[in-house]
Amino acid sequence: MIFSRKRADAERQTRDERATQVPDQGDATPTLERGPYDISESYDDVQRLDLGSLHIPAIADVEVRVQADPQGVVQQVVLVHGDNALQLGVFAAPRSEGIWDEVREEIRQSLLRDGASAQEVAGEYGPELHAQVNTPDGPTNLRFVGIDGPRWMVRGVFQGPVATDPAMAGPLVECLDGLVVDRGQEAKPVREPLPLRLPREIADQAEAEAGDAAAAPRQV
Report d(CA 158, CA 169) in Å as an integer: 9
Q: What is the pLDDT of residue 82?
A: 95
Paired strand residues for 77: 66, 88
Residues (pLDDT < 70) of the chain are 1-33, 200-220
Q: What is the pLDDT of residue 2?
A: 47
Q: What is the pLDDT of residue 56?
A: 96
Confidence (pTM) = 0.79
Instruction: Give per-residue pLDDT as tens, 26-44.
Output: 444 445 668 899 999 988 8
Q: What is the pLDDT of residue 31?
A: 52
E strand residue ranges, the chain: 2-5, 21-22, 31-32, 37-38, 48-50, 54-57, 62-68, 74-81, 84-92, 117-123, 126-135, 138-149, 152-159, 180-181
* Helical spans, DSSP H, in the chain: 100-113, 171-177, 200-215
Q: What is the pLDDT of residue 100?
A: 97
CATH C-level class of 37-199: alpha beta
Instruction: Give per-residue pLDDT as tens, 176-196.
Output: 999 999 999 899 999 999 999
Q: What is the pLDDT of residue 4?
A: 41
Q: What is the pLDDT of residue 203?
A: 52
Q: What is the pLDDT of residue 177?
A: 95
Q: What is the pLDDT of residue 105?
A: 96
Shortest CA distance to 69 belongs to which of 218, 214, 196? 196
Q: What is the pLDDT of residue 119?
A: 94
